[in-house]
């Protein structure tokens, strides 16, 4: 009896996904991206829970996978998924809109962008008051901020940028003694002879912070606002008609502590509060000075009329006699400067982070120079890949009203993972 040989069994490859399964996967990916994007609208402080800071920082980069999913949905004629992908893409583009054009104020809350970034920094009222005061004039300065990555950044390149970019103030983060020594060997004192070094403390965020200036400050301090990271040194400089407080800051990075990261970023709003309090005190003093001047004018008028009794009453009331301008306004009040602040540094956050936007809302507001100009993004991190561009914008130059940004650009510095951010500012 003949035995039939069975043909060898061929193992079949695993079956491909069914069309229905592919559509379900598309839905899942789109929903995940939608929820990821929604993190932008968390209340300030809620973004402190890790890995939310890192996830929110990557939100602007989700445009690329959305485009891929949109193309996939169109190819497979998955029209509901196509519509959702288009909606997500439109939202992403709307979020980028403030970087290229002015956004109406009523749209700002919906888009989750700082509504004050343009209106406050170029306030017409402040500009008009500046133009009406002959003692004030616009002063243009150029500032640069750089995270030096544990103090390893190439000081030769830093000094080259200081000279070629005509930098008036340099803010550096992650500073150590070796970096200071190498900057001194590169003759930084020839270009920026004044400095304010941050207080060294155990909570330093990979190093301290520092300021180097071309102009002589009227006051410096090695720490300022309460940040659970490196101390923020400040220098107050009188420029034009303003007393400007410059600060070099570096809030704690999220991996070290999400809560300290959020608290440190929100504390940056204190600089706007301080400038506002200074201006409020100045107005009160000016008002008091005006009252004193009125009393002096009344006193002088009484003297001209021979009203000696009225003059004696004024003297008895203790009215002080101060040196005055031609119009009778006491000089120490008529020349009192407007107070402003410029905050520079690696802030480990962007306008996508609720904690960062909260800092910008303090007082009369802090304007982000990059966002204010509407000339596109200025991503600054990571910059350690020689052939790959920086992806996210976490280095900033913020300022209060009375200051306007004129230009912003970045520059590469060897041996650090951040680009230098260079900003030209008009001090009104």
* CATH code of residue 164: 3.60.10.10
Q: How confident is the model at residue 315 (pLDDT cuts 50, 70, 90)?
A: very low
The domain boundary residue, chosen from 104, 139, 159: 104
State yes or no: pLDDT of 48 exceeds 50.
Answer: yes
Mean pLDDT in residue range 251-266: 95
User: In this structure, is residue 292 part of a structural domain?
Assistant: no
User: In this structure, is residue 143 part of a structural domain?
Assistant: yes
208-213 and 194-197 strand pairing: antiparallel
Higher pLDDT, 427 or 281: 427
User: In this structure, is residue 223 part of a structural domain?
Assistant: yes
Residues 125 and 221 grouped into a single domain? yes
Cα gap 249→405, rounded to integer Å: 19
Q: What pLDDT, on the 0 to 100 scale, is given for residue 298?
A: 55
Q: How confident is the model at residue 385 (pLDDT cuts 50, 70, 90)?
A: confident
Higher pLDDT, 394 or 323: 394
Q: How confident is the model at residue 272 (pLDDT cuts 50, 70, 90)?
A: very high
The domain boundary residue, chosen from 104, 128, 149: 104
User: In this structure, is residue 307 part of a structural domain?
Assistant: no
Residues 143 and 248 grouped into a single domain? yes
> What are the tens digits of pLDDT across the range 171-209?
999 999 999 999 999 999 999 999 999 998 887 889 999
Residues 415 and 372 grouped into a single domain? yes
Name the least confident of 149-153, 238-242, 250-254.
238-242
Q: Domain containing 171: what range?
A: 114-280+335-427
Higher pLDDT, 54 or 135: 54
Q: What pLDDT, on the 0 to 100 scale, is given for residue 69?
A: 98
Q: How confident is the model at residue 307 (pLDDT cuts 50, 70, 90)?
A: very low
Share of the chain above pLDDT 70, in %: 79
Residues 123 and 164 grouped into a single domain? yes
User: In this structure, is residue 308 part of a structural domain?
Assistant: no
H/E run at residue 339: strand 338-346
Residues 256 and 207 grouped into a single domain? yes
Cα gap 305→315, rounded to integer Å: 16
User: In this structure, is residue 300 part of a structural domain?
Assistant: no
State yes or no: pLDDT of 391 exceeds 80.
Answer: yes
Q: How confident is the model at residue 318 (pLDDT cuts 50, 70, 90)?
A: very low
Q: What pLDDT, on the 0 to 100 scale, is given for residue 370?
A: 94
Mean pLDDT in residue range 216-223: 96
Q: What pLDDT, on the 0 to 100 scale, is given for residue 115?
A: 64
Mean pLDDT in residue range 46-65: 97
The domain boundary residue, chosen from 81, 104, 127: 104
Residues 36 and 142 grouped into a single domain? no
User: In this structure, is residue 309 part of a structural domain?
Assistant: no
> What are the tens digits of pLDDT across the range 2-28?
556 665 665 544 567 788 899 999 999
Q: What pLDDT, on the 0 to 100 scale, is given for residue 3?
A: 57
Q: What pLDDT, on the 0 to 100 scale, is given for residue 121?
A: 46
Q: What pLDDT, on the 0 to 100 scale, is given for residue 292?
A: 46
Q: What pLDDT, on the 0 to 100 scale, is given for residue 120?
A: 44
Q: Is the dihedral of CA 43, 47, 49, 55 positive or negative?
A: positive
Report long-range pairs for 216-224 (Cβ below 8 Å, ≥24 apart): 218/243, 220/196, 221/196, 222/196, 222/197, 222/198, 223/198, 223/199, 224/270, 224/271
User: In this structure, is residue 381 part of a structural domain?
Assistant: yes
Residues 137 and 210 grouped into a single domain? yes
Range list of β-strands (E), 122-197: 139-147, 169-175, 194-197
Residues 350 and 271 grouped into a single domain? yes
Mean pLDDT in residue range 318-325: 41
Q: What pLDDT, on the 0 to 100 scale, is given for residue 181?
A: 98
Q: What total of structural domains would you count in the chain?
A: 2
State yes or no: pLDDT of 319 exceeds 60.
Answer: no
Residues 199 and 264 grouped into a single domain? yes
Residues 146 and 239 grouped into a single domain? yes
SS3 332: helix
Residues 245 and 375 grouped into a single domain? yes
Q: Which residues pair with 45 in a beta bridge?
A: none
Q: What pLDDT, on the 0 to 100 scale, is given for residue 109?
A: 80
Mean pLDDT in residue range 340-361: 97
Q: What pLDDT, on the 0 to 100 scale, is given for residue 412?
A: 97
Residues 135 and 233 grouped into a single domain? yes
Cα gap 108→98, rounded to integer Å: 9
Contacting residues for 15 by C-beta, under 8 A, at least 6 apart: none
Q: Report whether 367 contacts 358 (CB < 8 A).
A: no
Average pLDDT, the chain: 85
Q: What pLDDT, on the 0 to 100 scale, is given for residue 16?
A: 76
Q: What pLDDT, on the 0 to 100 scale, is given for residue 112?
A: 81
Name the least confident of 15-24, 52-61, 289-298.
289-298
């Amino acid at each position: 009896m003949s035995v039939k040989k069975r043909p060898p069994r061929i193992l079949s490859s695993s079956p491909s996904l069914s069309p229905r399964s592919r559509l379900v996967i598309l839905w899942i990916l789109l929903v995940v991206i939608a929820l990821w994007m929604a993190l932008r609208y968390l209340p300030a402080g809620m973004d402190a829970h890790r890995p939310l800071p890192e996830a929110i920082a990557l939100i602007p980069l989700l445009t690329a996978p959305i485009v891929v999913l949109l193309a996939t949905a169109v190819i497979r004629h998955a029209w509901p998924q196509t519509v959702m992908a288009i909606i997500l893409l439109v939202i992403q583009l709307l979020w980028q809109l403030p970087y290229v054009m002015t956004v109406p104020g009523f749209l700002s809350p919906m888009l989750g962008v700082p509504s004050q970034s343009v209106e406050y920094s170029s306030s017409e009222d402040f500009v008009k008051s500046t133009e009406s005061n002959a003692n004030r004039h616009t002063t243009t300065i150029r500032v640069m901020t750089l995270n030096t990555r544990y103090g390893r950044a190439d000081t030769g390149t830093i000094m080259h940028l200081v000279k070629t970019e005509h930098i008036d103030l340099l803010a550096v983060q992650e500073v150590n003694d070796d970096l200071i020594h190498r900057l001194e060997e590169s003759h930084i004192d020839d270009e920026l002879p004044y400095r304010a070094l941050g207080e060294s403390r155990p909570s330093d965020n990979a190093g301290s912070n520092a300021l180097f200036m071309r102009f002589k400050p009227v006051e410096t301090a090695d720490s300022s606002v309460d940040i659970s990271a490196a101390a923020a040194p400040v220098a107050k400089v009188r420029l034009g008609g303003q007393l400007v407080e410059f600060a070099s800051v570096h809030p704690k990075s999220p991996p070290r502590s999400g809560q300290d990261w959020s608290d440190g970023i929100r504390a940056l709003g204190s600089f706007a509060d301080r400038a506002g309090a200074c201006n409020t005190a100045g107005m009160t003093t000016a008002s008091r000075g005006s009252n004193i001047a009125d009393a002096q004018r009344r006193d002088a008028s009484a003297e001209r009329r021979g009203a000696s009794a009225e003059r004696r009453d004024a003297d008895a009331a203790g009215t002080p006699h101060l040196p005055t301008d031609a119009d009778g306004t006491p000089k120490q009040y008529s020349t009192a400067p407007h107070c402003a602040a410029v905050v520079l540094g690696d802030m480990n956050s962007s306008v996508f982070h609720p904690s960062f936007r909260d800092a910008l809302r303090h007082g009369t507001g802090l304007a982000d120079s990059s966002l204010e100009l509407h000339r596109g993004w200025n991503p600054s991190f990571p910059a350690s890949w020689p052939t790959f561009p920086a992806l996210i914008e976490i280095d900033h130059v913020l300022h209060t009203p009375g200051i306007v940004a004129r230009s912003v650009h970045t520059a590469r510095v060897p041996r650090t993972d951040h680009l230098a951010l260079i900003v030209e500012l008009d001090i009104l």
